[in-house]
């Protein structure tokens, strides 16, 4: 019997995944959580064989939760599931220790097969995402450029961003300019769009 933990912030999706996978004779759903920062405590409490983690969650995103789970419970295999089929997410999830990455519209039968494969020590990657990941490459943005673009998504002014990041306005402008150049974008909004589409921004 494969012991499964499911983490998804949408209660309806989480319930549907638990119900569908719970119908499988060899899968038992032992824990369900709705926040990324609840993953490790729930896993330590329920000792799952596989954790099915959503990428976008409050508290801690799924990729950070995967890394924390890998450190706290190395025996638990990790399968990421997401609505957002972005190649950058796949690369980062694998770096965080995930053994699989599938999109949420994967048919239930295929999802159950993916859980079994990961539980057995194999890898499962959505083929379209795998191809996109190979073509898009790693993020060219530095950590600070990523921070600035992430905050820029909220639509705040340069002054607001500088205050939030404890940087000078000139430094924030320099990071924005650099990020726009590295993404080959026309402006700030275009740089944000490109970085989001490639999975370089999260949260």
User: What does pLDDT average to in each consecutive run of 10 residues of the chain (203 residues)?
Assistant: 97 94 96 98 98 93 94 96 73 86 88 96 82 64 89 88 92 92 89 83 64
Q: How far is C-alpha 145 from the chain's CA centre?
A: 19
Residues of the chain with CATH 3.40.50.2300: 2-136
CATH code given to domain 143-197: 1.10.10.10
The predicted pLDDT at position 125 comes to 86
Task: Could you please state the CATH topology (level 3) that the domain comprising 2-136 is classified under.
Answer: Rossmann fold (3.40.50)
The predicted pLDDT at position 131 comes to 62
Q: What whole-number distance in Å separates Cα of residue 115 and Cα of residue 110?
A: 9
**DSSP one-letter code for 32:** E
b (16+ CB within 10 A) / e for 153-181 = eeeeebeebbeebebeeebbeebbebbbe
The answer to whether the CB of 87 falls within 8 A of the CB of 198 is yes
Q: What pTM, to 2 d.p., does this model score?
A: 0.69
């Amino acid at each position: 019997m494969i012991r499964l933990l499911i983490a998804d912030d949408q209660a309806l999706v989480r319930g549907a995944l638990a119900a569908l996978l719970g119908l499988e004779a060899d899968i038992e759903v032992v824990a369900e959580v709705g926040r990324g920062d609840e993953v490790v405590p729930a896993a330590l409490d329920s000792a799952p064989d596989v954790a099915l983690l959503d990428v976008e969650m409050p508290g801690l995103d799924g990729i950070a939760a995967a890394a924390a789970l890998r450190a706290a419970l190395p025996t638990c295999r990790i399968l990421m599931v997401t609505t957002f089929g972005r190649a950058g997410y796949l690369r980062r999830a694998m770096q965080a220790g995930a053994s699989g990455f599938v999109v949420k519209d994967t048919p239930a039968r295929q999802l159950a097969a993916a859980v079994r494969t990961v539980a057995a020590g194999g890898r499962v990657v959505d083929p379209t995402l795998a191809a996109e990941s190979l073509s898009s490459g790693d993020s060219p943005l530095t950590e600070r450029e990523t921070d600035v673009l992430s905050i820029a998504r909220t639509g705040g002014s340069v002054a607001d961003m500088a205050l939030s990041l404890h940087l000078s306005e000139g430094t924030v402008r320099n990071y924005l300019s650099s990020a726009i150049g590295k993404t080959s974008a026309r402006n700030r909004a275009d740089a944000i769009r490109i970085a989001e589409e490639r999975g370089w921004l999260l949260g």
